Structure 1
Amino acid sequence: MRLDAKGTDMNQAEFSIRTQTDGVLRLDRAVLIYHGASGSAFATVHAVEDADGEAVIGAGQAMTPRAAIDLARALSKSVAHAGFLPETVLYMDGDLLVWWLPPGKRHISFRTEGHEQQMGAVERGETVPQPGLVFAASNRAWKVWAVKGSARPTPATPLYQAPYFNVYANGDICQGNVPVPEGTTAEKIGAWNDAFLRSYFTHPNAQGELVSYRGGAYAFWRDMLDGKFSRFPERVLVDAKTTLGALLGMKEVA
């Protein structure tokens, strides 16, 4: 959609709107937003009436939180998703997509210059068992957490620090120079998984403990690459002290 506007005087403005289709847009309502000095906000919704060919804003009423949510969803339809959804999709809201990657053996690569002794080489890569993961992506964020077990996560599922280099304690993924997919539709999940798992992991980003393992994160991943574990040892995961439902409720994923 393209919006062009030009002012005519202090009280009037002319707009022309070009849509991606030939559909006709009808001016229906106006929303007035007020902000207080303390940062509070208040909005009113007004009907728009036609008076001799000119749009006139009528009397308004307070916008309820539910009406604000409905309006936001209507405005975000350009990023809405359609079609059949795979079981791995856990949550969708606007351009926010949250999905689950079940546990399994996957390839992982490290490039840890300066830590050759800890990792056994500057560059190493092997296919190793890895835990179940919960990813979240939007146009503002890219995050990942670990989960235990092989069951599809629910709102009550506890989250754990993702045991990977390049991931912060709050789940943020350090993108670096890794190209990421455009868009967060369900069809892009595989591309998002590849963007993370096929990148080089270079160094721990979490300020605290990345894994609960004697010798720390470097020793853990060296042992994983050496084939010490036939299954991912979930006991090493560090509790993120939240659940999937709590995280979504707090809107901290985006």
Structure 2
Amino acid sequence: MNEAEFSIHTPTENVLTLDQAVLLYHGRNGGALATVHEVMTVDGSPVIGAGRAMTAQAARELAAALLQRVAHGGFLPETVLYVHGDLILWWVPPTRRHIAFRVDGDHAEAFGGGERGETVPQPGLVFAASSRTWGVWAVKGNRRPTPQTPLYQAPYFNVNGQGGICQGNVPVPEGTTVEKIEAWNDAFFRSYFTHPNVTGKLLRYRGGAYAFWRDMLDQRFTRFPERVLVDVKTTLGGLLGGKDRKEAA
């Protein structure tokens, strides 16, 4: 019989011990059965013993443990809002952060230059990232969001009406673990913002989005003016498929 070899690399040596094996059986009609087997060491080698059927509760506990391991490396900071598989949502409280623009055409002249960048106030933000998703929304206030927290259009160029971020040629981090959150933040803010990417209003401001960000770069505001944010008619819970969706106006 052929023997398969594999290894597991963990952040800390000797933290994992092989003590059980799970065998999966699939039927032609799509059904599945799993059995759990104790693993014994015989003459220095692991040997799989007799098995027993895996209960539904044991399957849920195993799935939760595996998802937790994939999603983060242990401690979850307060800024992490939601974790499921490789999907992670986190909150960035209001702060001052550098932002850079690269615009052309008539907008460049009105913008005060084709390339401009300054450290300016930013609103509270909710980011989402996974192997298939990269999005951002704005929130008001400086309290940690809850499922009932209303979401607003992120007031940035290169973000569409569904919160999706246009990646362009911006390199993004590999993986969505907690340790990568700041790298994802940097990938967003260190890119050049080039043009609005929504069909409706990006924000509510006399003169529009270009005038707003020109005034922000000119240091007109000491705090981000939340009154300019556009309500997207949903909450954090609604975004995740819950029942906290706001009634449409």
TM-score for both structures, normalised by structure 2: 0.77
SS in 2 for 1:177: coil
Structure 1 runs of 4+ with >3 Å offset: 14-17, 21-29, 46-49, 66-78
Question: Matched residues in 2 for 1:196 and 1:135: separation?
Answer: 10
* Letter matched to residue 113 of structure 1: D
How far is 1:118 from its partner?
3.0
SS in 2 for 1:224: helix
Moved more, 215-224 or 154-163: 215-224
Which of the numbers 213, 231, 234 marks the counterpart of 1:221? 213
> Contact 1:211–1:236 at 8 Å: present in 2 too?
yes
Question: Matched residues in 1 for 2:208 and 2:130: separation?
Answer: 31
Show the counterpart of 1:5.
none
Query: Larger strand proportion, structure 1 or 2?
Result: 1
Question: Matched residues in 1 for 2:18 and 2:92: separation?
Answer: 42
Alignment of 1:156-235 (within 5 A): 156-235=148-227
Show the counterpart of 2:92.
101
SS in 1 for 2:96: strand
Structure 1 unaligned residues grouped into runs of 5+: 1-13, 36-41, 50-56
Residues 120 and 85 of structure 1: is their aligned pair in 2 closer, same or farther, counting only changes over 3 Å? same
Which of the numbers 130, 135, 139 marks the counterpart of 2:127? 135
* Letter matched to residue 122 of structure 2: Q
Kindly indicate whether residue 88 of structure 2 is the aligned counterpart of residue 91 of structure 1: no
* Letter matched to residue 184 of structure 1: T
How far is 1:78 from its partner?
5.4
How far is 1:94 from its partner?
2.0
> Contact 1:91–1:99 at 8 Å: present in 2 too?
yes
* Letter matched to residue 43 of structure 1: G
SS in 2 for 1:249: coil
How far is 1:207 from its partner?
1.7
Kindly indicate whether residue 33 of structure 2 is the aligned counterpart of residue 45 of structure 1: yes
- What is the RMSD computed on CA atoms of the aligned residues? 3.2
Render the CA deviation track for 1:149-192: whole Å, top value 9, x for unaligned: 11111111101000000111111111111111122222221111
> Contact 1:131–1:148 at 8 Å: present in 2 too?
yes
SS in 2 for 1:28: strand
How far is 1:89 from its partner?
1.2
Question: Matched residues in 2 for 1:201 and 1:17: separation?
Answer: 48
Question: Matched residues in 1 for 2:27 and 2:66: separation?
Answer: 16
Render the CA deviation track for 1:96-148: whole Å, top value 9, x for unaligned: 11111111221111001222123121001111111000111111111100000
Show the counterpart of 2:26.
32
Count of residues in Structure 1 that have an aligned counterpart in Structure 2: 226
How far is 1:88 from its partner?
1.1
Alignment of 1:6-25 (within 5 A): 16=4, 18-20=6-8
Show the counterpart of 1:6.
none
TM-score for both structures, normalised by structure 1: 0.75
> Contact 1:100–1:152 at 8 Å: present in 2 too?
yes
Question: Matched residues in 1 for 2:196 and 2:108: separation?
Answer: 15
> Contact 2:71–2:178 at 8 Å: present in 1 too?
no
